[in-house]
Structure 1
Amino acid sequence: MYRRLLRPILFLFDPEMVHHWIFSSIKFFSKIGFSGLFKALFLVEDKRLEREIFGLKFKNPVGLAAGFDKNAALYNELSDFGFGFIEIGTLTPKQQDGNPKKRLFRLKEDQAIINRMGFNNKGVFDAVEQLKKKHKVLIGGNIGKNKVTPNNEAIKDYLICFDALFDHVDYFVVNVSSPNTPGLRELQDKEPLTALLNELQLENSKYRKRKNTVRKPILLKIAPDLTENQLFDIIDIVSTTKIDGVIATNTTIARDNLKSHTLLVEEAGGLSGKPLKDRSTEVIRFLAEKSKKSFPIIGVGGIHSPEDALEKLEAGADLIQLWTGFVYEGPGLVKRINKAILNGMK
């Protein structure tokens, strides 16, 4: 019903406006008692779907990627659609508006999206207030730096976010790979990235001792545009800093073999969706094989079908995340993927 009826109507309107309208609608219908209906339609509960990764137990391996619920405003309601985990953010210390509108574009012929949102969010402390509600699902906190913060002071921004979120999320994701904050991807270079991750690990250890609690898993989200040598650097950095895993991948700046109108293709920003599928799978397979599967990988990029999801898992991903596929295929995709995973076990 979503693809045949609802999506054609939604796609007549500005994508950012539709995003806000969908948020308001889900919140409204959940408040008036539709939460049970959403669960009945989309939730698949089966012990065989559970995954224990970096010390956490996931109800199923299908998560929602960061960028959808930036401000942690809807994570419980979204969990009713069958997700095994929700990643909020990217969050920055201070509220920021992001890049000027229009900044979100559908490439319908390619089943893709270009976004240059620019870490628009209400700030990490606003998200903390939202996260004080009881969580129905595991929550990941995706953290970044404010646009006005120079790279040589970026560590401070990440530490502020880490400290604020520590008691409220189950794992952290360090985002240095978005193409929409000027200079951010420079932090993926080996020296600054190692320094950043070491500082976060040091803070992690301090919290563990101070609060007599377990440390929180830290993951690194990487770009799909890294070279082979840079990917070898990532493997080395994970080993050196002893972080818990990698999310592969963020959006791409590449524009290869697209069918959509030239003016759309030339829009600046990160490309997600089907055109990213093969490259993100290549990165997952490279990291899994070259590291001898020495760390967990969350696979994301171009998952529009159960077959796409299974391909990511077979390439070496332990968990997967949806974003653009969720927009194009609707909430039924989560259920279809989990069903396919169970069918593959028979």
Structure 2
Amino acid sequence: MYPVIRNLLFRIDPEDAHEWTVKSLRLAQRIPGMLWTMEKKMSVRDPRLTVQCGQLRFPNPVGMAAGFDKHARIYPALAALGFGCVEVGTLTPKPQPGNPRPRLYRLVEDEAVINRMGFNNGGIIQAATSFSQLPRPSIPIGINLGKNKKTPQEEAAGDYRTGLRALYRHGDYFAINISSPNTEGLRDLQKAEQLRFLIGDLLEERQELRRETGEIRPLFIKLAPDLNREELTEAVQIGLELGIDGFIAVNTTLSRKGLKGPHRKEAGGLSGRPLSRPATDWIRFIYRLSEGKVPIIGVGGVFNGEDAYTKIRAGASLIQVYTGMIYRGPSIARTINRELLRLLDRDGLSSIRDAVGLDA
């Protein structure tokens, strides 16, 4: 069924197709009993898939990456598609429209997407309202935080701190996005001095929020695939030294190596199949560097169970999809989870936890 729908969606502008999908999922949320029906059909319930990261329990390791639900409006419907977690955003303190359209391109020949969206979102106040009104799924909800485009670089930490405080009670974990290529200067926050200040500032804010709420929310740093090995090592070591809870590897890339699609020269971040191997290599590197002491969320080129399993064996405790869903459809989480169970049986492993880092 999805190949037919995909052929129709691929005939229109990619962003229009995404907006149509979002509207369809919002409609599903309003129909009584629809989310229950979706979840019953899409979920794969098996204790072998359960992942425990600190205090958070994930019913399966397949998550929806940030960027699909930019405004925190459809996470209940995404949860009902069988995902083990959903990450919303990227959210910034103030609403912003993002970069001018067109800003999203399919590279069908490469099973890839290039985007230069620019953190278009309704801001943290709109998101907080949405969180207060929509039903809460039983899976963890992550919140991806960014800075506003017009915020000076020296004040960037304040944007992340504002977002963390405003949305703290709504998120189960927070992803600190300092690696999108579509906000000028953002990736400079991965440099040692700026990164050390940013992480220290956020951990200080979290400690204050912990005193106020009695709750501690994990903080993950999302890293770029375009760092060199020395830069990545420094970033990971700073995170570990200061006490970050985990890493997300990786964001979109500026590389255009080996692409065939006619839109390959468009500016923006590349995601999808071409990112699969570089992302896995970075996951393995971070896992070795951290000695497996903190969880890694693996992102980049996950289209099937083999892709997910490769990243898990490289060191990822969880994986996320986005571009894979564009090309494979809304049943992708169910498909991957079923394939993961088959791969565990093949290798004689009793759970996903036993596979994490086996190839690292």
TM-score of the aligned structures, taking structure 2 as reference length: 0.93
Percent identity over the alignment?
A: 46
Does the aligned pair in 1 maintain the 2:26–2:73 contact within 8 Å? Answer: no
Q: Report the residue type matching 1:207 in the other structure.
A: L
Note the alpha carbon deviations across 1:206-225, whole angstroms, 9 max, x for none: 111223x1311000000001
Tell me the distance in 1 between the aligned counterparts of 2:118 and 2:160: 16
Note the alpha carbon deviations across 1:9-29, whole angstroms, 9 max, x for none: 110000101111111112223
Tell me the distance in 2 between the aligned counterparts of 1:135 and 1:123: 20
Tell me the distance in 1 between the aligned counterparts of 2:34 and 2:327: 22
Tell me the distance in 1 between the aligned counterparts of 2:87 and 2:182: 19
Aligned to 2:299: 300
Aligned to 1:115: 115
Confirm whether residue 243 of structure 1 aligns to residue 244 of structure 2: yes
Note the alpha carbon deviations across 1:73-125, whole angstroms, 9 max, x for none: 00011111001111011000000000000000000100100000000000011
Please list every run of 5 or more consecutive structure 2 residues that lacks an aligned counterpart in the other structure.
346-360
Moved over 4 A (4+): none
How far apart are 1:36 and its partner, in Å? Answer: 3.2
How far apart are 1:345 and its partner, in Å? Answer: 3.0
Does the aligned pair in 2 maintain the 1:112–1:274 contact within 8 Å? Answer: yes
Tell me the distance in 1 between the aligned counterparts of 2:37 and 2:217: 34
Confirm whether residue 104 of structure 1 aligns to residue 89 of structure 2: no
Aligned to 1:135: 136
Confirm whether residue 290 of structure 1 aligns to residue 250 of structure 2: no
Note the alpha carbon deviations across 1:240-298, whole angstroms, 9 max, x for none: 2101000000000000001112xx11110000000000000000011111221121100
How far apart are 1:34 and its partner, in Å? Answer: 2.9
How far apart are 1:332 and its partner, in Å? Answer: 1.7
Q: Which moved more, 1:222-231 or 1:129-138?
A: 129-138
How far apart are 1:231 and its partner, in Å? Answer: 1.4
Does the aligned pair in 1 maintain the 2:28–2:77 contact within 8 Å? Answer: no
Aligned to 1:193: 195
Tell me the distance in 2 between the aligned counterparts of 1:47 and 1:338: 12
The alignment partner of 2:57 has SS state of: strand
Tell me the distance in 2 between the aligned counterparts of 1:10 and 1:209: 48
Please list every run of 5 or more consecutive structure 1 residues that lacks an aligned counterpart in the other structure.
none
Number of residue pairs the alignment of both structures matches: 342
Does the aligned pair in 2 maintain the 1:98–1:119 contact within 8 Å? Answer: yes
Tell me the distance in 2 between the aligned counterparts of 1:226 and 1:273: 18
Matches within 5 A, 1:1-346: 1-2=1-2, 4-32=3-31, 33-132=33-132, 133-136=134-137, 137-211=139-213, 213-261=214-262, 264-346=263-345
Q: Report the residue type matching 1:108 in the other structure.
A: V
TM-score of the aligned structures, taking structure 1 as reference length: 0.97
The alignment partner of 1:131 has SS state of: helix
The alignment partner of 2:215 has SS state of: coil
